[in-house]
Structure 1
């Protein structure tokens, strides 16, 4: 496949407005690229209307290497901040600009082209490669969760996720987990001139706020790569109007966890606070969680890291940094599959994720395609030797 065709595939994927929805159009386009290859197994897995995961497997038998990328993107934000239309991919200064260029349609397109080229060349694979293209990564990794529950990640030999890592200059082996939670507070309305007849839902929510900030501060351990736990209350809503005692209030909290602390410890702490407060007169609090993810442990000395470093050195003079990620990714779900395997994250893309004027460097994108092909053949070859 020539350079122009590789860039065109990237641009077509970028042009699809899959803002936390509409991933089916991306899946259909990618599937169409593989339709003429009888040796490619194509499976669409529906999550919801207009939201289909896509699984493509190439190779006939042997160990399976997972390649993963998500098809959704975040909203472009204020269009006035963009120098080009976010869903009209534009090339300038040897970069492709557009929403999702870095996070992570650049990496997804590179994986797609890598597999297509292996099929075009009729490469003899020492195993299989399975592309797991997911929905909903930006809002909770629920596409990856669905594919994991259905067994698509069972007994993988390894997993590579093509999230952006400073234009392929970092290889990530560990990542923080995340717990998004919501606390609701029910009270009783009354005129603000007669507050004794009501129950102030905001006051009760503030009591939870203070206790949660204090109690979770005791998780003081730090990870040498990921740092410490963070806990932030990020959204608060409540009340009806200024002269009413509020009958309802809610807050959203975000915890970023590290491998030293399983998520269950935070659930226990938060739920204990809820139980304690609800024993008091007038309190009616409840807590729910939104797609929590465990932290991803790992070792910088694992075989998959060593292979990635070796292959990387063939394409870049500067060695890749072996590091961790402060954000969560689909690997947290896939690693719950049956079997034992390690995951890494390495992908093209700048540090403009979620920003206006997001872009991917064309040279990085093209070299990543070669890397993904070489890595797959090298990694799967080592699995056959075992």
Structure 2
């Protein structure tokens, strides 16, 4: 496949406005490519939605099975803040601009093109390469959950997620995420007669303080060598209507980044205990609900998949040009994960605080599974003027082709 055709496929995918929906349009486009090349594939509806769907495609057969996954949705965009049309792939100074260019249509398309080229070449794949293209990763991960529930991960030996890591980093662990909404119900009254009411804001503040203090205390002794400690933040808060009225309602949202050593289930149990004790001790009426619930993942730093990536990608890494600033940042990052004598050109294996679809796909095997996140991109996900370096996108296609051929050997 010529470079122009590869860029054309990415351009077509970027043009599909799959903003938290309409992933089926992406799946239909990919299905056409696979059908034309003779690759077995299926579009899998997601619930009753007419606009959301997953797509599965396979090359090769038998064991081992390498699942490769990327999501088809993107986040909202404020087009007025972009220098270019966010849904028109635009090349400038060696970079490709567009919504989803980094997160994560470049990674998805690179995998697809690698599969197409291997099929067209007649290469014999040692094992099975199974693409799981998901819907809804950005909000709730329903696509990944459906793949897991439908058994597509049951026979999988390793999982590659092509979220943006950049070429110098291979990610094998990520923190979990627990988003909790805390609501306080009270009774309104005139502020000159507070004894006639029940101040929902004051109860909310009190219980939030207990939650933050007690969660920090109970998780203080738990640490993951790669991911660090549990992090808890109170991120939104609202309540009351005016300054001379006792508020009857208030609510806040808490974001907790979790680690396997003290996972989401343990955190949730602790939060329920705190709220139940608070309600039993006075006049407070506090309720809590969970929004996002992403399992922390800690893979295997000695896995075959990780070692294969580091070996196969090495020539591409060494040919990449780095500024002095970038070299310094990489050295600092390497030192943070215990690599004291890092030479830019090596691929750093590390963990990240953010989650991926892996949290649903390998939810039953969150520790020790052969999992790596490695894909084209940079630190512009969800940002205005999101982009991916053109050379990186093209290099990853070749990295994936070689990886798919050698994983089963």
Calculate the TM-score normalised by the size of structure 2.
0.88
What aligned pairs does 1:215-226 form with structure 2 within 5 A after superposition?
A: 215-218=214-217, 219-220=219-220, 221-226=222-227
How many residues in Structure 1 have an aligned counterpart in Structure 2?
379
- Do 1:20 and 1:138's aligned partners in 2 also have CA atoms closer than 8 Å? yes
Q: Secondary structure at the match of 1:222?
A: coil
Q: Give 1:176 shift.
A: 0.8
Q: Per-residue CA shift, 1:336-358, capped at 9, x if unaligned?
A: 35898411000001211111111
Over the residues paired in the alignment, what is the CA RMSD in angstroms? 1.8
Partner of 2:374: 346
Question: Contact between 2:43 and 2:53, CA under 8 Å: does it hold in 1?
Answer: no
1:333 matched to 2:350? The reply is: no
Which residue matches 2:151? 151
Q: 1:282 Cα shift? A: 2.5
Kindly provide the CA deviation profile for residues 217-263 of structure 1, in whole angstroms up to 9, marking residues without a partner as x.
12123333222211001111222344432222211111111222222
The answer for the alignment partner of 1:181 in structure 2 is 180
Relative to structure 1, is the Cα distance of residues 379 and 208 closer, same or farther in structure 2, using a 3 angstrom cutoff? same
Q: Does 1:323 align with 2:350?
A: yes
Question: Does the 8 Å contact 2:61/2:126 carry over to 1?
Answer: no
- Counterpart in 2 of 1:10? 10
Q: For residue 208 of structure 1, what is the aligned residue in structure 2? A: 207
Counterpart Cα distance in 2 of 1:55 and 1:337? 21
Q: 2:404 aligns with which of 366, 376, 382?
A: 376
Look up the match of 2:338: none
Q: Looking at secondary structure, tell me which structure has more helix per residue.
A: 2
Structure 2: distance between partners of 1:329 and 1:176: 9
Distance across 1 between alignment mates of 2:16 and 2:39: 27
- Give 1:200 deviation, angstroms: 1.6
CA contact (8 A) 2:300 2:371 kept: no
Deviations 1:173-222 (A, max 9, x none): 11111111111111122233332222221111111111011111121233
Specify the alignment match of 2:114 in structure 1: 114
Paired residue for 2:194? Answer: 195
1:327 CA drift (Å):
0.5
Q: Which residue of 2 aligns with 1:92?
A: 92
> How many angstroms does 1:93 deviate by?
0.8
TM-score normalised by the chain length of structure 1: 0.93
The superposition leaves residues 119-154 of structure 1 with CA deviations (integer Å, 9 ceiling, x where unpaired) of 211221111111111111112222211211111111
1:64 aligned counterpart, secondary structure: strand
Preserved contact between residue 178 and residue 264 of structure 2 (Cα < 8 Å):
yes
Please report how far the alpha carbon of residue 273 of structure 1 lies from its aligned counterpart in structure 2 after TM superposition.
0.9
1:228-267 → structure 2 map (5 Å cutoff): 228-267=229-268
* Matched-pair contact (CA < 8 Å) for 2:305–2:407: yes
Change (3 A) 1:361 1:379: same
When structure 1 is superposed on structure 2, of 227-236 and 186-195 the one drifting more is 186-195
Q: 1:63–1:380: 8 Å Cα contact kept in structure 2?
A: yes
Unpaired segments ≥5 residues, structure 1:
382-386
99 and 284 in structure 1: CA distance in 2 versus 1, 3 angstrom threshold: same
Is the Cα–Cα contact under 8 Å of residues 41 and 55 in structure 2 kept in the other structure? no
Distance (whole Å) between structure 1 residues aligned to residue 226 and residue 249 of structure 2: 41
Aligned to 1:384: none
Alpha-carbon distance between aligned partners in 2 of 1:112 and 1:246, rounded to the nearest angstrom: 55
Within 5 Å, give how 1:39-118 maps onto structure 2.
39-47=39-47, 48-77=49-78, 79-118=79-118
Q: In 1, distance between residues paired with 2:21 and 2:191? A: 42
Mean CA deviation greater in 41-50 or 17-26: 41-50
Q: Is the 8 A contact 2:28 2:43 kept in 1?
A: no
Q: Which residues of structure 2 form unaligned runs of 5+?
A: 319-344
Write the deviation string for residues 309-338 of structure 1: whole angstroms up to 9, x where unpaired.
111124332221111111111111111358
Return the alpha-carbon distance in structure 1 between the equivalents of residues 23 and 127 of structure 2: 29
Contact 1:39 1:59 in 2 (8 A): no
Return the alpha-carbon distance in structure 1 between the equivalents of residues 72 and 353 of structure 2: 21
Give CA-to-partner distance per residue, 1:87-132, whole Å, 9 cap, x none: 1221111111011111111101111111111121122111111111
